[in-house]
Chains A and B, each alone.
Chain A
Amino acid sequence: MSAPLSADLAQIGKSVVIKGELSGSEDLYVDGQVEGSISLKNNSLTVGPNGQVKASVEAKGLVVQGKLEGNVQASDRVDLRKSAVVTGDISTQRISIEEGAYLKGKVDIQGKADKAAGK
């Protein structure tokens, strides 16, 4: 599956390996390897089918088609597609999980009131 094309979408290709802190103010598509942390507070992260992310993730939205190891804090929603393999705790407002997705970890649905109260 090819990455969706968008002017505001940064892409990390499948041959790219990054270690460290990633942050930004545009949507990010990762089809390579990332190890460390990813912070996209007002934007979305997509882990492509070849993506292997070993990082804590803070984003508005998250779509996982590949592998993700690390805790996730998504202010809006998380989509685990059928090929997703996720190990880590997920905290979000909404989550959708396709048949066949694999999750090892906690799911904590935070309402807007919870977030405002900082729970």
Chain B
Amino acid sequence: MVSPRVIRNLKKEFRNSLLPKIGLLLVVVIILVAVFAPLIAPHDPTAQNLNQTELPPLGFTKTTNETTAQLVDGEIQTVTNVTTIDAKLSHPLGTDGLGRDMLSRVIYGARTSLMVGVLGTILAVLVGVPVGLVAGYSGGTVDDTLMRIADVSLAFPSLVLAVALIGLWGRATVPIPDPFVAAGLASGMPTSTTLPITVVIVVGLVNWVWFARVARGEALSLRQQEYVKAARALGAGDVRVIGRHVLPNAMTPIIVLGTVQIAAIILLESALSFLGFSGTTLSWGFDISQGQDYVSSGQWWIATMPGVAIMLSVIGINLVGDWFRDALDPDIEGEGGT
């Protein structure tokens, strides 16, 4: 599947271009942050501190104007007291409306986004690739039926479909125990991470179509290959031919699409969280929706910090996806549905 030639191309592309380096750096940092979140985060991301709400991030100050009416020499005067609140070193990215540390929330948000992105993509691959391979390899009525189903699900706007499915199934979540906390390496952190399982299933089912289409296209051309015919002439059955000769040679575009789809699914998850369909409150999209009320009153950082995190991770993953595409398969068009 991963031949020496592929590795050589990947290295060459990596050396010759700056973008893969940036992408890989971003992705590695995000993965490390997500995995070691309890060790990195300075505070419990869910701990509220009502004495320190809406603290600005480092390098900024927050000014509040307090206007009071006073009786001075028998006249009513309005006095404006300007108070300046400085950033605190203990909250480098500030705090939100309930005094929760933004940096910790962004760090923990990476867990949710990556888990949903990766698991959702795996689910989409597991559903889409077999469907596509069977459709393309069988041809005829099987192909027509499966691909019309794919077309129909493609016709729904994915966000609307996702919202509808979550409305139908509810917002189920699975708590995943945190190994670092369990091992006593991090104290004062949440003991488990909430995986919004419905969201994973929904984003997987919304995005399977892309994998089905790519896999089908590959199977369609690979089944015409002489070596597929040769394998059949030597007595290999359909499952063996698909598993041994079709799938391995179809892997390249599937890997490329998979990388891009992780980014698309992270965006979709954020959109769902923003709309309040997530099931977890530790999510970049959820924080953006919480923070939007504060933007107009000057506390821009509450919505901006998680937004920047989404942007960086999506850019990073897409750059890695482009790197794979350029190195593995110059022909494929970058198609991705959100």
To the question of whether A and B form a pair in one complex, the answer is no
B residues near A (Cβ < 8 Å) are none
A residues near B (Cβ < 8 Å) are none
